[in-house]
Amino acid sequence: MAPPLAKAHSAIWRAGLLGLAVTLTAVVAYSWYVTQQIAGLRELQTSITERNRKDSLQLLRIQNNLNDAALSMRDMLDNPEHYPLTAFQPQFQRIRTDLKDALQREQELAVATRTPAQRQYLSDSVSQFWNAVDEMFALARRGNEAQAREEILTSLQPRQAALSNAVARFLVANNESEQQAQQRVTSIYDRVQRQAYIFLIATLAAIVLTSALIIRSNRALFRQLAIVSQQRGELAQKLISTQESTLSYVSRELHDEFGQILTALGAMLTRAEKRNPDSELTESLREIREVAQSALDKTRTLSQALHPVMLDESGLEQSLDWYLPTIERQTGIDISYEKSGAPFEVPRSAGVHIYRVVQEALNNIKRHSGAQRAWIRLRYLADALEVEIEDHGRGLSISSNGSRGIGLVGMRERAQLIGAELKFSQPAEGGTLVRLRVPRGTERRAVIQTH
């Protein structure tokens, strides 16, 4: 790869890796952030919201027990049937047992949300209340019911009211704590939502920036490729032009120089043979003349193969008329040659390349296709000359040394030189169909397609 192409390719890789690194970093950072926020929410809901809810349930249970005690004390004071106060002792014992359990559970739940002084105050107040209850029932058992009722009025009811107020304050504190927790949850959700928008914007910005860098690098790469492609095309065209000039020169030298030398040698041998008809050298001279004639024929054949003189003297159609039977004899391939349309003159510069395309296509059939028959169609159309070479062999393939691929490249380059359209396709019967369409009287560049 040329240094500019390598540099552009490296820039594309760097831009892609940079964008990937930024995106992955953003995703990892945001994932970590969301994980931390979710963990905080879970801890908040577990340690505050859920604990407050359970604590409030226990406080309500304590409050219900205190209300039951208040109702019982009211019945004890307002009882019209004058039941003894000791008759209410089992009811108070049930309340005491349930209240003790509720208080124990509430103390376990209130560790994180209540101060030790508050917990101690509630515990001491309950203990003092039950001590007063025990004292009241002791007075009743000793027959001092009036004093026991006075104890209810002056001690038990105020203590019960104070406990109820304390429990109510704790419930209010729990409600406030839950509201604060809810506000914190809402704040976290809002913060996560804002961060999500920021993350989305940052990710989109990274993607846009990376895409812009890649597009810029691709444009630079494509410009370099276009330059290299243009240089390659120019080089290929120069090589083809040089090749044709060289072949034409060698062909002309073979035809003119060596051909004349061999022709002169044959004439000299003929004269020598006529001057000495009875000489012992006659047979040798005849053999030498035949060898010289054979060399002349081979020289002319080689000259025509390198660059048919007919292309310069008679044009493309007559050159194909001569070449196709020749190659048919040399290769053993049965060639069906068809011409259609009103013939028109093909410029010599274009005729050379059309001839070479046909020559390369037939060489491919001979070397690679394995087909024993080929079809050549020459069509003179109103706006173009169309040449088709078809076989039903193995189809397009590239040999291990890549020679066929080089031949196809040469065919494409020749088509470009004359502004022609070259297509490779596969007929329904299999094999290869090469179609060359040369515009008539135009200089446009070729469009080359491979199917």
User: Quick one: CA torsion of 346, 350, 356, 360, rounded to 10 degrees?
Assistant: -100
Residues 6 or more apart whose CB falls under 8 angstroms from that of 41 comprise 185, 188
pLDDT at 4: 55
- Give the tens place of pLDDT for each residue, 290-334: 777 777 777 767 766 666 667 777 788 888 888 888 888 888 889
pLDDT at 251: 67
pLDDT at 374: 92
- Give the tens place of pLDDT for each residue, 109-143: 775 667 788 878 888 888 898 999 999 889 888 88
Least confident interval from 103-107, 227-231, 253-257, 428-432: 253-257
- Give the tens place of pLDDT for each residue, 362-395: 888 888 888 889 999 999 998 899 999 999 888 7
Q: What is the DSSP letter of 308?
A: -
Flag whether pLDDT at 256 surpasses 50: yes
C-alpha of 381 from chain center: 47
- The answer as to CATH 1.10.8 being correct for domain 3-215 is no
Confidence class for position 248, pLDDT limits 50, 70, 90: low
- Give the tens place of pLDDT for each residue, 51-110: 778 888 888 888 899 899 889 888 888 875 667 888 888 998 999 899 889 888 888 877
Least confident interval from 139-153, 223-237, 241-255: 241-255
Q: Are 375 and 205 in contact (CB under 8 A)?
A: no
Flag whether pLDDT at 289 surpasses 80: no
Q: Which fold has domain 308-450?
A: Heat Shock Protein 90 (3.30.565)
For the segment 208-217, the average pLDDT, to the nearest whole number, is 77
pLDDT at 184: 77
For the segment 136-163, the average pLDDT, to the nearest whole number, is 88
Q: Are 393 and 369 in contact (CB under 8 A)?
A: yes
Distance CA 376, CA 386 (A): 11
For the segment 186-199, the average pLDDT, to the nearest whole number, is 78
For the segment 17-46, the average pLDDT, to the nearest whole number, is 69
Distance CA 169, CA 36 (A): 34
Q: Which of 94-98, 180-184, 225-229, 438-442 has the highest mean pLDDT?
A: 94-98
User: Residue 160, CB half-sphere, CA atoms under 13 Å: how many?
Assistant: 26
CA angle 304, 305, 308 (to 5 degrees): 40
pLDDT at 447: 38
Which carries the bigger pLDDT value, residue 337 or residue 442?
337
Q: Are 394 and 414 in contact (CB under 8 A)?
A: no
Percent of the chain with pLDDT over 70: 78
- Give the tens place of pLDDT for each residue, 161-190: 998 898 888 888 878 877 777 777 778 777
User: Quick one: CA torsion of 188, 189, 193, 194, rounded to 10 degrees?
Assistant: -30
**Average per-residue pLDDT for the chain:** 78
For the segment 400-416, the average pLDDT, to the nearest whole number, is 70
For the segment 279-295, the average pLDDT, to the nearest whole number, is 73
Q: Which of 293-297, 299-303, 399-403, 411-415 has the highest mean pLDDT?
A: 411-415
Q: Are 379 and 340 in contact (CB under 8 A)?
A: yes
Give the amino acid at 414: R
Flag whether pLDDT at 217 surpasses 50: yes
All structural domains of the chain with their residue ranges: 3-215, 308-450
For the segment 409-425, the average pLDDT, to the nearest whole number, is 86
